[in-house]
Amino acid sequence: MAQAVSAQKVYLTKVERTNDNTDKFFYSLNNGSSDAEYLGEIEVQGYSRDDAGIFSMIYKKAKEIGANFFAWKPFETVDGKNESFNPANYKLGLYYISKEKLSDQTGYLYLFASSDKDQKVAVNNKDYTIAPRSYLKLQVVPNQVYSISTKRLLGSSIKVQPKSGDQNMYFQVSSAKIKADNSGVGGLNLKSGDIIGLEKSFAEFLSVIYQAAKTE
């Protein structure tokens, strides 16, 4: 059965097995893992700019079978090659990993651009330009203060300080005011005009469907 947001639909297309865990998180499976238990697949068809709404539907489908991790699975072409990511039609593998075996790449600042145009942003007075539906990933130093600002008239500015090297920070930046999602899934918080903090599960989903920007 499919759920839809605008022209985009989400299907649970394959179920190999289920898991009865009650984990609330739903993270990206970076580079695969031998400890990951494959549960099934989700397919997203059609394009929508409502990333939070799509993530909410994917999350609900994944939790139906007990998944707590996901990974993009390229479609194979007729010549056996893998297709590049297509935001209008993509497939996610669903997995379960026990909390005892969790591992993560930490100590980074992520900035996601949700604007229709290139987004200018400064981090500690260094300027960056992030293309639409792209994200900037910067390594951060524990206990150092980072100033993030949007480079425009009346833009926002915030200061953040990672407390240790075992966490990431996620923010969405926009040239327009961002409306926070209050559904409880894919939560957006720490709202500050056109810079808002993102909940980790939703941010890791964006890191899969957005393009990584070059830092130099």
Give the up-direction half-sphere exposure of residue 82: CA atoms within 13 A in the CB hemisphere: 7
What DSSP element (H or E) covers 72? Answer: strand 69-72
- For 120-134, the pLDDT digits (tens) are 899 998 999 999 999
- Are both 76 and 148 inside the same structural domain? no
pLDDT of amino acid 182: 47
Domain boundary among 46, 80, 101: 101
- Read off the pLDDT band of 165 (50, 70, 90): low
- Are both 86 and 32 inside the same structural domain? yes
- Read off the pLDDT band of 192 (50, 70, 90): very low
Q: What is the mean pLDDT of the chain?
A: 84
Strands across the sheet containing 119-123: 126-130, 119-123, 146-150, 157-160
For residues 158-184, average pLDDT: 73
Q: Is the dihedral of CA 135, 138, 142, 144 positive or negative?
A: negative
Domain boundary among 71, 101, 131: 101
pTM: 0.85
Domain that holds residue 9: 2-101
- Are both 121 and 205 inside the same structural domain? yes
Q: How many domains does the chain have?
A: 2
Contact, 26 vs 42, CB < 8 A? no
- Are both 86 and 172 inside the same structural domain? no
For residues 46-58, average pLDDT: 93
3-state secondary structure 20-36: CCCCCCCEECCCCCCCC
Higher pLDDT, 175 or 192: 175
Structure tokens belonging to residue 151: 């480079």
- For 76-123, the pLDDT digits (tens) are 777 766 778 899 999 999 999 987 777 777 889 999 998 788 988 999
Higher pLDDT, 12 or 3: 12
For the beta carbon of residue 187, count every other beta carbon within 10 angstroms.
16
- Are both 206 and 190 inside the same structural domain? yes
* Terminal C-alpha separation, the chain: 44
pLDDT of amino acid 136: 96
User: Could you tell me which of 99, 101, 95 has the C-alpha nearest to residue 63?
Assistant: 95
- Are both 114 and 60 inside the same structural domain? no
- Listed ranges 61-65, 118-122, 189-193; the one with the highest mean pLDDT: 61-65
Contact, 135 vs 111, CB < 8 A? yes
The strand pair at 134-139 and 119-123 is best described as unpaired
- Are both 92 and 149 inside the same structural domain? no
Domain boundary among 101, 136, 159: 101
For residues 147-158, average pLDDT: 78
- Are both 9 and 75 inside the same structural domain? yes
